Amino acid sequence: MLGLGAGAVTALGLAGCGTGVRDRQQERSGSGNGGAKNGSGREPVRAKPLGDGSTADTGPQPRQPEKPRPLEPGETPPQFVVFSWDGAGDVGNGLFPRFLKAAEDHGAHMTFFLSGLYLLPESKKRAYLPPNNAPGASDIGYLTDAHIRTTLTNLRRAWLDGHEIGTHFNGHFCGDGHGSVAHWTPKQWRSEIDQAKSFVKEWRTNTGFDDLDPLPFDYDKELVGGRTPCLLGQDNLLPTARELGWRYDASSPGGLQVWPDRKQGIWDLPLQAVPFPGRSFEVLSMDYNMLANQSLNSTQAPPANYPAWRRQATEAYIAGFRRAYETNRAPFFVGNHFEEWNGGIYMDAVEEALKHMAREREKGGDVRLVSFRQFTDWLDVQRPDVLERLRSLGVGESPAGGWKRFLAEATGQRSGSRADRNPGEAA
């Protein structure tokens, strides 16, 4: 296993989602089309309210990519990149709308892992019953009513722009004690998920807001994956995820840049170790883990360090992308928080990396900036023998003889035979 550095290990236990940030006026921008191949981005006229009207079934999600298809024999795989956001609450720092606009400008779809607690007013906090913790307890702050409203506005726009709304669960308990998610049972994970869903499906009742439009999706259908707090507790989460019909989980405590496999029947899509320029070890592809190795967990280090750290973080993301793009084409997963740690340098680094990847696509490369759900859609239609072949490539390993030969052999094309499976049939 590649070393992640002492600070990176520490960061796994501290990948939090703070809310103590100064307000500023929320940015506003048009919807755009996010680079999708279809859909107008406008909500259908006919919407079916669900429950208390907090959500509504508005039909198929707009601005989705073309329907995925199996790779042809010998075809080079696309380079998938997933940018994801833990917490996905708006706290007035402009970061949620900033990255909705960045996604629009650069033709990207993303995954927003919503902390359900961000839609529950603090005045109603005792409605939350966290496993092994006191009612209303949370290791992240509750949002103000004003920020619940802007969070709802941004979530609504995100879904209509084609992005995915997953879950980051609720109270973000990741200490060493009995209340940590690391010790929760499958039954307790079920309680946490049910509550996270209820806070999304019943925000109108809990807040009393009657002047906002509903979230334009059925969360029971939309929710197909998540990321646990501090990447803890996956083993006991997965039986519950499978029972609920989830399709993927992004909670593995660190992975490598290789093609994914299923774990307990669920696609296992971990954050990955990537090169850390100027250092002998690698770092997980998450903003906080880079911070932990640069400023030893301080989120307000001396500003004189910021330019070099911003450049190092940017180059780390780009190095991870290029290593996959130029060799095994393993999907590249990036995790972030809407935080202004160390002067906001990690947000700048993420945006610069996004721009770099979009430019590679504009040069003619098959780079696809997608959500976890969209990537899972692609995985699910590939032939098992092709995926097995892709998984045989190690980190930074190019296919022997080139992609045409490598994947032609996987589908039996070396002898001129055709695969048994219908080319349009899902795996």
For 369, which DSSP code?
E
Collapsing DSSP states into helix, strand and coil, what is residue 7?
Answer: helix
State the Cα–Cα distance between residues 40 and 33, nearest whole angstrom.
Answer: 7
Distance separating the N- and C-terminal Cα atoms of the chain: 31
List Cβ neighbours of 43 (8 Å cut-off, separation of 6 or more): 58, 62, 160, 216
> What pLDDT is stored for residue 412 in this prediction?
56
Dihedrals φ, ψ of 97, to 5°? -65, -30
- Assigned token pair, 47: 């919407």
Q: Exposed e or buried b for every residue in 225-248, given b needs 16+ CB within 10 A?
A: bbbbbbbbbbebbbbbbbeeebbb
Q: Residue 305 carries which side chain, given as an amino acid letter? A: N
Q: For each of the chain's 427 residues, which pLDDT tens digit applies?
A: 333 443 333 333 334 443 332 222 233 333 333 333 333 345 445 789 999 999 999 999 999 999 999 999 999 999 999 999 999 999 999 999 999 999 999 999 999 999 999 999 999 999 999 999 999 999 999 999 999 999 999 999 999 999 999 999 999 999 889 999 999 999 999 999 999 999 999 999 999 999 999 999 999 999 999 999 999 999 999 999 999 999 999 999 889 999 999 999 999 999 999 999 999 999 999 999 999 999 999 999 999 999 999 999 999 999 999 999 999 999 999 999 999 999 999 999 999 999 999 999 999 999 999 999 999 999 999 999 999 999 999 999 999 999 999 998 765 544 343 333 333 333 3
Is residue 385 a contact partner of residue 427, using CB atoms and an 8 Å limit?
A: no
State the Cα–Cα distance between residues 232 and 180, nearest whole angstrom.
Answer: 9
- 61-415 homologous superfamily: Glycoside hydrolase/deacetylase (3.20.20.370)
> What pLDDT is stored for residue 190 in this prediction?
98
Domain range summary for the chain, segments of one domain joined by +: 61-415
* DSSP β-bridge partners for residue 111: 84, 164
> What pLDDT is stored for residue 223 in this prediction?
98
Q: Residue 380 carries which side chain, given as an amino acid letter? A: D
State the Cα–Cα distance between residues 62 and 38, nearest whole angstrom.
Answer: 7
State the Cα–Cα distance between residues 421 and 416, nearest whole angstrom.
Answer: 15
List Cβ neighbours of 334 (8 Å cut-off, separation of 6 or more): 81, 82, 83, 84, 271, 285, 286, 317, 350, 353
Q: Express each pLDDT in 291-329 by its tens digit.
A: 999 999 999 999 999 999 999 999 999 999 999 999 999
> What pLDDT is stored for residue 416 in this prediction?
40
